[in-house]
């Protein structure tokens, strides 16, 4: 079990049934009025997937703070070549007026939604970072208004994971929302993870 908690950001993950380590992970860089978050799902599960996730975190931590999601994913694709690869979503947001605006790039079996009065499911590109990725895919715009949630999930969660997000809103801490979503929607045959951002 991996748990990361803060006032506005929460992450929770569980390994695949029968495994000790989890091949899912997250990356968070928080700066005044700006942040970058990523969810990494190493292909498969167990120690091999964990190695991929660790390498991906190292790559992201070495990039400059202002790096774009598009360039971040390209850097991951280059450095993860020769590994099992990973599904990845990277989002960068800056505080701007009534909310947070920026861009994201998502590749593979990951999910990204913005939840407020309604659920906005964001497009995700095909491929596996480090193995096969469509180079023509570019970063897409992203906006999270104050009071909304940004939610990133791995494919270790059922497709029903987003159905109850509107009811949560700001009633719980972000890590408790992430924890509930993982426990209620996890699949036993894969690692499961969720990252939640409450836009202040």
**Average pLDDT of the segment spanning 122-126:** 93
pLDDT at 136: 60
pLDDT at 94: 95
DSSP state of 159: G
Question: Are 134 and 127 a contacting pair, CB within 8 Å?
Answer: yes
Residues 83-110: tens digit of each pLDDT: 999 999 999 999 988 899 999 999 999 9
Residues 151-172: tens digit of each pLDDT: 999 998 888 888 867 655 545 7
pLDDT at 135: 60
Helix (H) or strand (E) holding 52: helix 47-62
- Give the pLDDT band of residue 5 (cuts 50, 70, 90): low
Distance CA(7)–CA(73), nearest Å, equals 27
Alpha carbon 85 to chain centroid, angstroms: 15
pLDDT at 4: 52
Mean pLDDT of the chain: 90
Number of separate domains in the chain: 1
CATH of the domain at 103: 3.60.40.10
- Domain range for 116 is 2-198
- Give the pLDDT band of residue 66 (cuts 50, 70, 90): confident
pTM, two decimals, is: 0.92
CA contacts within 13 A on the Cβ side of 49: 22
Phi and psi at residue 71, to the nearest 5°:
-70, -35
Q: Is the dihedral of CA 114, 36, 111, 108 positive or negative?
A: positive
Greater model confidence, 136 or 147: 147
Helix (H) or strand (E) holding 54: helix 47-62
Is the pLDDT reported for residue 25 higher than 80? yes
């Amino acid at each position: 079990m991996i748990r990361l908690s803060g006032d506005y950001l929460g992450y929770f993950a569980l390994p695949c049934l029968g495994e000790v380590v989890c091949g899912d992970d997250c990356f968070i860089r928080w700066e005044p009025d700006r942040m970058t978050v990523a969810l990494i799902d190493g292909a498969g599960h167990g120690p091999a997937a964990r190695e991929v996730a660790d390498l991906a975190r190292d790559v992201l931590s070495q990039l400059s703070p202002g790096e774009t999601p598009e360039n971040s994913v390209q850097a991951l694709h280059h450095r993860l070549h020769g590994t099992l690869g990973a599904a990845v979503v990277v989002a960068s947001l800056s505080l701007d007026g009534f909310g947070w605006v920026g861009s994201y790039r998502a590749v593979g079996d990951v999910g990204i939604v913005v939840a407020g009065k309604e659920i906005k499911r964001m497009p995700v590109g095909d491929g596996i970072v480090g193995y096969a990725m469509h180079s023509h895919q570019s970063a897409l715009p992203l906006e999270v208004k104050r009071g909304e949630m940004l939610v990133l999930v791995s494919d270790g969660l059922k497709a029903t994971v987003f159905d109850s997000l509107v009811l949560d809103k700001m009633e719980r801490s972000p890590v408790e929302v992430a924890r509930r979503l993982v426990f209620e929607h996890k699949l036993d045959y894969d690692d499961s993870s969720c990252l939640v951002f409450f836009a202040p």
